[in-house]
Structure formats: structure tokens, C-alpha cells
Amino acid sequence: MKKSTKSDSIRNQTRDCQKFVKTRGYITDSLFEEEKMFPIAYSIMAFKSPEQFEILLRAIYRPQNIYCIHIDKKTSDSIFEEFSSMTRCFQNVFLASERISVQWGGKGELTQELVCMKDLLRYSKWKYLINLTGQEFPLRTNYELVKILKIFNGSNEGEGILKRVNKDRWAYAGQPPHKIRPIKGAVHVTVNRKFVEYAINNPVAKDFLAWVQKTGPVPDETFFPSLIHNPHLGIPGSFKGQVETDYSEKKPFLSRFKSWSGAPNYWPCHGYFVRGICIFGLGDLPLLARRPEFFANKFHIDHEPHTLLCLDQLLFNRTRDEYSGRLQFETDYYENLEYIKNVV
């Protein structure tokens, strides 16, 4: 995809917000009362490609939801202004109160998440929070997400792994506080509001955060998974069962679909690998279209951009057909998940 010129840049397009919202096809109605009464909060971490970010924002945008956007402090002023110009067109989309300089595997990756979480707590009505990056895309419509999250009934969703973990990452920091057992997992989570309140405000979480920040690389892969999988902390929605080993069908990781090179549940990658993760290509579309996860990671708009655009069209078509009554969402898979019934 070609880079934006000055005349067609997002900054230029958003000089007329009403025109921008209309011509880009944003959905500015809640569509269903059920969606209106179940707002979702999003924290989105981005550092490049405002054009790709805009496709993501448009796909997940609803007027009842709330969106916090964190732009890496290292991002150039001109690119930052592209992102900023979009947020000015929506009352429920805002930039994070603090910009963090993020290095892969460093403390900043977790800190930026916590900044947006804290900012989102200023808004009182949302039920669940989903954290994203600008290189992801939804596999579910907003209506489907609401249906699923109502079935989850407060359960927190996140990855938890023990067997394959190199525990040396934690050894340097000493014994974790409050008898917390460290758990590895993805930073990507889908969590209820009380979880976020605990993670930001509870003294136990603050003690654990201080400990996590003394551990090895990628502290973000320890903080949220450990809070979800230590039920003695009493965090509402946390998992009470035995942490499964790796990729078990008993506790699937639904917040994100990823294809890792060499993983036990390896899927063929029709794009290319970066740091072991598949950047999806056109050949991955049949698989992506039938996955049960909420979002997929990851996409690069400059690599086979029609991969992203086809998914965008698929999501639009599903939303249209839901609204017109031509498509019913089958929820049996989610209703039969045992682990969502085994929570605090």
C-alpha cells in the first residue's frame, strides 16, 4: 500500500470530521439495544502506520464503547499528529494521558498498558476491557463480542502457561510477594472492570508490579497472566482451576489468534515470520474466517494488504447481516467452555 501524500493523509481528511466519519463508513449507531447496554473499553497501543490503525478503529468502533490510544513516545511528531487527528473526530476516542517510550521486551510495554487502563477507569459504564495493538484485527463483530462476554459473565480471559516456561526470567527478582505463583502468558487479555480496578489500585497488585519490573525480559508476559491465575488473591473472574500446560483444549486462549513458528498448535503461515510469529497473508484467510478467537495478531498493511481489507469486508458483511436478521450467531462453543465456570 502506498504511503499517504500530504493531500490524502489522515490529518488532511479529518479536517472535516463529519465528512471523514461518513465517507470512511464508521458505524455511529449502537445497532442493537443489547450492544448499547454492554459497552466495551479498548486500549490500543500503536507506533506506526496510521492508515492501518484507522482500518482497525473503524472495524471496532461503536458510539457506546470507549477507546484509549497510546502512541509510542519515539513515534515522530508528524506520524503522531496523524493519529491525534483521528481521535479529535470522536468523543469516545482519546489519546493516553502519558506517552511511554517502548522497547520490545522492556518495562515500557507493560507501563503503556497500565497508563491506558488507568485512563479508562475514569469512564464508568464499560463492562470489559480488551487490549490491542495497531497490528491486529477483529475476528468477531461487536455484537458477537457482546454475546460472548455476556456468556463469560465476568470471567477473565488470558493465556496461562507453566511447563515450557524458562523460570530463570523470574529468579533474579527473588521470591514474589503475597504468595503469588508467577505464570507466563500473553499480554493480550479480555478482563472485567473489577480486574482492571485491582490491577491499577490494589496494594497487592502494586507490590507485584514492583516485583515483576525487576524480572527479566517481557515483564508484561507475567503481570496480567499471574493476576488471572492466582485465585487466592480474590480478583473477581480469575481462574480457580489448574493452570493448563501449554495449548490445552480445556482452557483455550481466546483473546487472540496467533500462529507461532514451531508451536505445539502450529498452523501453516502463508505470509512470513517476524520474531517467530506469522504476519498473515492472503492464503491465511480461510483459516482466519473460521477461528473462534476474538482478534488475530498480526498484520502488516504493506504485506498483501488485501488480507486485511478482505477481513474488513467480511466483518462488515457479518454486521450488516446481523442487523438485517439474515445471520444468527451460534454461541454453543462459548457456552460449553468449562473454564469460564471455574472462576472466583
Which residues are annotated as catalytic?
Answer: 221
Q: How far is CA 175 from CA 81, 165, 166, 172, 180, in A?
A: 44, 17, 16, 9, 9
First to last CA, the chain: 47
Quick count: other Cβ atoms within 10 Å of Cβ 205? 23
Cα 128 from Cα 294, distance rounded (Å): 13
Give the containing element (helix H, strand E) for 13.
helix 10-13
The CA dihedral of 29, 34, 36, 39, to the nearest 10 degrees, is -120
> Are 60 and 142 contacting, i.e. CB atoms less than 8 angstroms apart?
yes
- Alpha-carbon 196 to chain mean position: 14
* Joined grid coordinates for residue 298: 498480526
Helix (H, G, I), strand (E, B) or coil at 147: helix
Per 3-state DSSP, the chain is made up of helix, strand and coil in percentages (nearest 5) of: 40, 15, 45
